[in-house]
Chains A and B, each alone.
Chain A
């Protein structure tokens, strides 16, 4: 398959990906349902239909805890003719569940009866939302099914799953009824809104395709209006088109407009008007505009599906689809190269090549395709840069230039394994089995101009040939170690201060060399924790300069009892405080999750996510904790949509004894350590107050049930004058419901300001987990 043909395939598949809001749309109707009140099915496989006075139909499916997954009786159907968005609503009550524990889930699957493609949606049942004494309608929140725009026939199945360990309690979930909602045949509807990229650089053309289905038996005539929304108030109509769609047909409408600053996350909101100008449907999607898409990361940073060795076309396309659907902006690929600084690229014609840190056969073609796919959907592909030179190319580089490498005080060099070298030389033998560690690695002397030039050329070459738009250093980043020496024993840096200065100088020089060839190439780093930088202020400043991506891996060990930061309050202040420091130096802070994958329990992942994002950080590595079923909401989406409130360079942490804001709330509500001054896109001063219903446990990973506090209600937030001015407007920005009985929704709700003497105030109806109050002057 040639490049163009492949690209077309990608685009056609991309039609399926969308970032729709998860609420059932107003035009949706129930197209299938099953009511256990009228079910005559007999008990089977631990699924019993029981009398239940609380159930609307008098009976419900009783699902006590039995680990595993089982299909629900009565929830199988075939020949369902469907198109566009589809979701499910389950009427449930529950007993014996605790906190945000991920114990009970419902999963619906629609399988295309012709091509077998399967689409899934699911929800958790959690005590934060579902009571025991009444049934509530629970929308399936995760993975609203977006079917292709063209109507097709599908087969339905719904399953329940119990997971985890249950001790000293017997959780039970009752399901009274399940409904499937989709657009019916009464009126035309928007089946799809599809911007072609997740992020656009300023000046690029934004292309958005809108599909409208006319399921009626009459001609549809109307108008499609496209709006771009960002910030708290901005709504710009960017395009309009007349729509004329024959009965039973799908209309495709293409829109394009130019991406313009400010750099921000955005919503493209599409309204369908009828011939009389009345809105009959709307739909939306999200995209960003940023010079560097990493600036808007809210959904993780690693391009998992693009890692070698899994580089099959099909799996890469699936990975790209998933990343686009999730709105992922940054696609970092860990340890993929031939020999890192030895030579990122394999020798001409060597495909597959034996590369990576733990040597693996890698498809060069597959790697290049993965990078291209990420760029096609607007992500920024980032190459991991381990730092040292390694592998056979580095070994050969050493042979030519032993004076380029640094040596320890004892005269030793990085590491080497001559047996692995001998094995590598026999790599073309069919019987060859890759060894488990690289054969050589060494660090280069970054102070040497000749070496800087070599490193810059390596990076320029790999960026040009592979298409990387940035590199993220890991264990070494032009570092000069105190005490390291040249081959003849000359000390490179005598003191820590000198080492810091030389490192910063070397890094800066390299960046400037690369920028001459690749002005937009971006940089990222590891080892940016304050603990690691107490004596390296110049290096830290250079890492931050110009939007450096700062992966703080030290954080992942804070779950340990030996760490002073395993207390939530200390963790919060450490993350938010250092985030502020990094931002003021121009860096983008990316604290790594506890244990790398996130804390042990859901509640740990929730508070890690809140703390990081409230501080303006980009939560790595795989995106924040989001949970609509449990009413937490899509907090990552909220941060993206209102990015000016979190990611702005003017976001300025205030000291705890600040005089700008007073909050009347119990001590368990965090706010004092989370007040910021900021400026809107329009340059208007803002005061931002984060209200966080604090963790139940003082320490991380000490809440196995993921218990949460009751919502704090009627929180009065008072804002005093700033530079002689009182706020003129206020909003509550939230992903959770405004009140506990509502649906979670990413929104900015304008608040009425109550004027007091020298101050204004708003009263926030409730804080379940995290709400943000914004005062604007």
Chain B
């Protein structure tokens, strides 16, 4: 039945191609025309490859999309709230205020070579009885560009903050469609790159990882959804550096880049560019970029020999030459690499080109295919990229997973994401008043009883005092995360002191690290807690944040020493040590080994090693105190661990006062 339909589709395609050739599309023109949909004006953009409709009355979405080489079938199911390039905020309950909102259209350019249509919307910040003041007033401008002789639809979404107000938002672009024109739960397959290999998902194939709607360890900005039977579908190219998550919904009918939370200062703007690439002739996608979309089929004998068939089509650009330099690597032994002679695709176009290569000496399955790509444009410029995929082969467990049922047997390296942070023009911490604390609680930090210390600092003043606590979770192979973080500079700068427990670098991520260093640079105080995941264990050594601390630690973990229950001693009498009862002789079992910076002052020591170091990089920057003991390890009866010392909470209380420059308390 499907075969007959495919045949009909092919016949239809050839018929349409002939018709269009007669009409003039063969000359490569692109056209923009108005249409009336339910009394509203919509805009049809069409070239020799695609025909699509943008409906400003429906969120400025693409409500119809046909790929003429893919059989000219309608990819957008004609029911409400389906389409391409649909706007949504992660903070609003779906569908959110924008998905069906009326946008204002404006034709920017209409020429045979290029048509540009813009739709715009001012965010209200109200949705389903909830108010979102940090969103209201944002200006959204969505610009579609379709070019002659180019299969790709460009969609540029720009958000601009009002003149006098900063904004904070998390953008979510939704593309909901049926690959191949109709929904097939088994053969409609999504492909998304991750550090565990390309995640292929159908509605039914959930397997041991669960549904994997959300891929958080994505390794590139593309996503694809193909009808693997008809070998047609769409690839969505997004900006990897802005993405937070690669989402494909449970029913497998969508490709949805979810973007990182974005702070915009007044007048600031952020732009999200998406390319919608129609493809035919591919039944899978292993890599995609502005230059190419590549699929592959790999075979191995399980002992290190095999073949790889690579299929490539153009994307936004049509490279004059695309060179692929592949290697096949054993997962078990990364030194066992089968190098393969490069393959070159000439004049990459919309018709798939196929190259087959063989390999030997890669070691037993599972394997990883790694490919370096060099695309040469018509003007001779070259662009280098790389991609990889995990290949299970005959590995007995059957997929990229160990028998412990949670750990992947292969995890690659995730390319660093550029931050492109937007910041307030002037930054000054503590704008919210006094005694505002943000506390990131890591592993074992509860032993510090920070909450009591905070309670001792001041009376909680409802509506004014800001105390926030976030938690660290470490989820094995998938790393560390924080339950919350003040990504809003306006909020961050309201705090006086950040208490940073065992919050590792991957929990903060590059944005958090940058923002915390900004916080200290803006005069905010910080108290860094020692613990089993702190300092050398934290991955923060050598970062911009650690630069602001009075100590530096080893970049390798395990720089922690057993101290044999040594007693804490006062190395330098400073005001905040007042009124503490040292007669209980608080002791330390484990101590982080650090280097004290020249501007750091060691206040307390244990067996001659620094236990508490304070410092201020310069007068304009915040004060930082580093507690270097870890609240772990049992001690003999009669000995007092420092975290159980009755005055410990007072010491920390006074340290918090010091860090927020409340010197009048001493």
A residues near B, CB below 8 A? Answer: 398-403, 407, 410-422, 475, 485, 487-489, 526-527, 529, 531-532, 553-554, 557-558, 560, 562-565
Q: How many residues of B contact A (CB 8 A)?
A: 42
- Shortest 6 CB-CB distances between A and B: which pairs? A411-B557, A489-B558, A419-B471, A418-B471, A417-B473, A560-B398
The one of B395, B473, B630, B633 that contacts A416, using a Cβ cutoff of 8 Å: B473
**Interface flags, B315-339, vs A, CB<8A=1, else 0:** 0000000000000000000000000
Residue numbers in B under 8 Å from A418 (CB-CB):
441-443, 445-446, 471-473
Give the one of B302, B557, B560, B631 with max A CB within 10 A: B557
23 sample A-B contacts, Cβ–Cβ < 8 Å, listed by A number: A400-B633, A402-B630, A402-B633, A403-B562, A407-B558, A411-B536, A411-B537, A412-B533, A413-B474, A413-B532, A415-B476, A416-B473, A417-B473, A418-B442, A422-B441, A489-B556, A526-B403, A529-B403, A558-B396, A558-B398, A560-B398, A563-B396, A563-B398
B398 touches A419 (CB 8 A): no
B466 within 8 A of A: no
Instruction: Verify A564–B445 contact, CB threshold 8 A.
Output: no
Q: Given A487-B558, A563-B396, do A412 and B633 touch, yes or no (CB 8 Å)? A: no
Q: B residues within 8 A CB of A414?
A: 476
Known: A418-B446, A553-B403, A554-B396. A399 touches B474 (CB 8 A): no
- B633:A422 contact, CB within 8 angstroms: no
What's the minimum C-beta distance from A357 to chain B, rounded to whole angstroms? Answer: 11
Whole-angstrom CA separation of A476 from B594 in the bound complex: 35
Given A416-B443, A418-B472, decide whether A554 and B403 contact each other with a Cβ distance below 8 A: yes
Chain B nearest CB, measured from A298 CB (Å) = 26
Does B29 reach chain A (CB closer than 8 Å)? Answer: no
The answer to whether A485 and B558 have CB atoms under 8 Å apart is: yes
B617 at the interface (CB under 8 A from A): no
B481-494 interface bits toward A, Cβ cutoff 8 Å, 1 = contact, 0 = none: 00100000000000
CB-based contact B474/A487 at 8 Å: no
Report yes or no: B441 in contact with A398, Cβ–Cβ below 8 A. no
Return the contact of B444 from the options A399, A415, A485 (Cβ within 8 A). Answer: A399
Contact of B632 with A402 in the complex, beta carbons under 8 Å: yes
User: Which B444-500 residues have C-beta < 8 A from chain A?
Assistant: 444-447, 471-476, 483
Q: Give every chain A residue within 8 A of B397 (Cβ-Cβ).
A: 531, 554, 557
Expressed in whole angstroms, the Cα–Cα distance for A399 and B531 within the complex equals 10
The answer on a CB contact under 8 Å between B394 and A415 is no
Q: How far, in whole Å, are A416 and B537 apart by their CA atoms in the complex? A: 15
Q: Which A residues touch B445, using CB under 8 A?
A: 418
**A419 interface neighbour in B403, B476, B483, B533, Cβ under 8 Å:** B483
In chain B, residues 486-544, which have Cβ atoms closer than 8 Å to a Cβ of chain A? 532-533, 536-537
Is there contact, CB below 8 Å, between B394 and A562? yes
Q: How far is the CA of A410 from the CA of B537 in the complex (A)?
A: 7
For window 401-440 of chain B, which residues contact chain A by CB distance below 8 Å? 403-405
Instruction: Decide: A489 and B403 in contact? CB cutoff 8 A.
Output: no
- Bound-complex Cα distance A725 to B483 (A): 75
Rounded to whole Å, the gap between the CB of B197 and the closest CB of chain A is 13
Given A402-B532, A411-B557, 5 further pairs, Cβ under 8 A: A399-B631, A401-B634, A413-B474, A487-B560, A489-B556
Find the B residue at minimum CB distance from A559.
Answer: B398
The complex places the Cα of A407 from the Cα of B404 at a distance, in Å, of 17
Q: Chain B's nearest CB lies how many Å from the CB of A343?
A: 16
In the bound complex, how far is the Cα of B406 from the Cα of A475, in angstroms?
10
Distance in Å: Cβ of B160 to nearest Cβ of chain A: 36
Asked if B561 is at the interface (CB within 8 A of a chain A CB), the reply is yes
When distances are taken between beta carbons in the complex, the residues of chain A under 8 Å from B557 are 407, 410-411, 489
B590 contacts partner chain A, Cβ-Cβ < 8 Å: yes
Known: A402-B532, A562-B392, A562-B398. A415 touches B558 (CB 8 A): no
| B residues in contact with A531, CB < 8 Å | 396-397
Q: Does B393 contact A (CB under 8 A)?
A: yes
Considering the complex, which residues of chain B in the window 343-398 have a beta carbon less than 8 Å from any beta carbon of chain A? 392-398
Task: Decide yes or no whether B546 CB sits under 8 A from chain A.
Answer: no
Report whether A399 and B558 are in contact in the complex, using a CB–CB cutoff of 8 Å: no
Residues of B within 8 A of A401 (CB): 633-634
Please give me the residue from chain B that is nearest to A487 by CB atom. Answer: B560
Bound-state Cα–Cα, A473 to B393, Å: 29
Q: Is the CB of B212 closer than 8 A to any CB of chain A?
A: no
Question: Residue A532 contacts which of B393, B403, B405, B561 (CB distance < 8 angstroms)?
Answer: B403
- Cα separation A114 to B296 with both chains bound (whole Å): 70
| Interface-central residue, A410, A414, A526, by most chain B CB under 10 Å | A410
B396 touches A415 (CB 8 A): no
Assess the B396–A529 pair: CB atoms within 8 A: yes
Q: Does B239 contact A (CB under 8 A)?
A: no
Q: Does B184 contact A (CB under 8 A)?
A: no
From the candidates A419, A554, A565, name the one contacting B473 in the complex (CB within 8 A).
A419
| B398 touches which of A402, A416, A420, A557 (Cβ 8 Å) | A557
Q: Is B647 an interface residue (CB 8 A)?
A: no
Q: Which residues of B contact A420 (CB under 8 A)?
A: 473
B114 at the A interface (CB under 8 A): no
In the complex, what distance in Å separates the CA atom of A560 from the CA atom of B557? 40
- Bound-state CA distance A258–B396 (Å) is 48
Q: How far is the CB of A672 from chain B (nearest CB, A)?
A: 25
Chain A residues within an 8 Å CB radius of B473: 415-420
Across-interface contacts of B404 in A (CB, < 8 A): 475
CB-based contact B558/A417 at 8 Å:
no
Q: How far is the CA of A422 from the CA of B442 in the complex (A)?
A: 11
- Cα-based distance from A418 to B444 in the complex (angstroms): 8
> Per-position contact with A for B628-647: 1 when CB-CB < 8 Å, else 0?
00111110000000000000
Instruction: State in angstroms the CA–CA spacing of A414 and B443 once bound together.
Output: 11
Q: Is A412 a contact of B474 with CB atoms below 8 Å?
A: yes
A402 with B396: CB separation less than 8 A: no
Question: Smallest CB–CB gap between A556 and chain B, Å?
Answer: 10
Query: How far in angstroms is the closest Cβ of chain B from A534?
Result: 10
Per the bound structure, the CA–CA distance linking A564 and B446 in Å amounts to 50
Asked if B399 is an interface residue, CB under 8 A from chain A, the answer is yes
Which residues of chain A come closer than 8 Å to B442, judged between CB atoms? 418
- The residue on A at minimum CB distance from B397 is A557
- CB closest residue in chain B, given A441: B476
Q: Is the CB of B443 within 8 A of A413?
A: yes
**A532, B402: Cα distance in complex, Å:** 10
A460 to B600 alpha-carbon distance, docked (Å): 52
Contact, CB under 8 Å: A527 / B403: yes
* List of B residues within 8 angstroms of A407 by Cβ: 557-558
For A413, list chain B residues within 8 Å (CB): 443, 474, 532-533
> A485 to B536, alpha carbons, bound, how many Å?
15
Residue on A nearest B401 in the bound complex, by CB: A557
The answer to whether A398 and B444 have CB atoms under 8 Å apart is yes
Question: CA–CA, A526 to B405, complex, Å?
Answer: 12
Contacts of A411 in B (CB 8 A): 533, 536-537, 557-558
A420 to B472, CA, bound (A): 10
What's the Cα separation between A414 and B474 when bound, in Å?
8
- Check B474–A416 contact: CB distance below 8 A: yes
CB distance from A317 to the nearest CB of B (A): 33
Cross-interface CB contact of A562 among B399, B403, B474, B475, cutoff 8 Å: B399
List the A residue with the shortest CB-CB distance to B396.
Answer: A531
**Across-interface contacts of B405 in A (CB, < 8 A):** 475
Output the least CB separation between A56 and chain B (Å). Answer: 46
Cα distance, A708 to B148, chains bound together (Å) = 61
Query: Taking CB as reference atom, which chain B residue is nearest A488?
Result: B558
Bound form: Cα–Cα A568–B140 in Å: 60
Which residues of chain A are near B632, meaning CB under 8 Å?
398-400, 402
What is the chain A residue whose CB lies nearest that of B446? A421
**In the complex, residue of chain B having the shortest beta-carbon distance to the beta carbon of A439:** B473
> A560 contacts which chain B residues (CB < 8 A)?
398-399
Chain A residues lying within 8 Å of B302, measured Cβ to Cβ, are 564
B394, B403, B404, B405 pick with most chain A CB within 10 angstroms: B403
A414–B483 alpha-carbon span in the complex (Å): 19
A473: min CB distance to chain B, Å: 12
Q: Which residue of B lies closest to A489 (CB)?
A: B558
Complex contact A488–B561 (CB within 8 A): yes
Q: How far is the CA of A376 from the CA of B396 in the complex (A)?
A: 41
Within the complex, what minimum Cβ distance (angstroms) separates A182 from chain B? 48
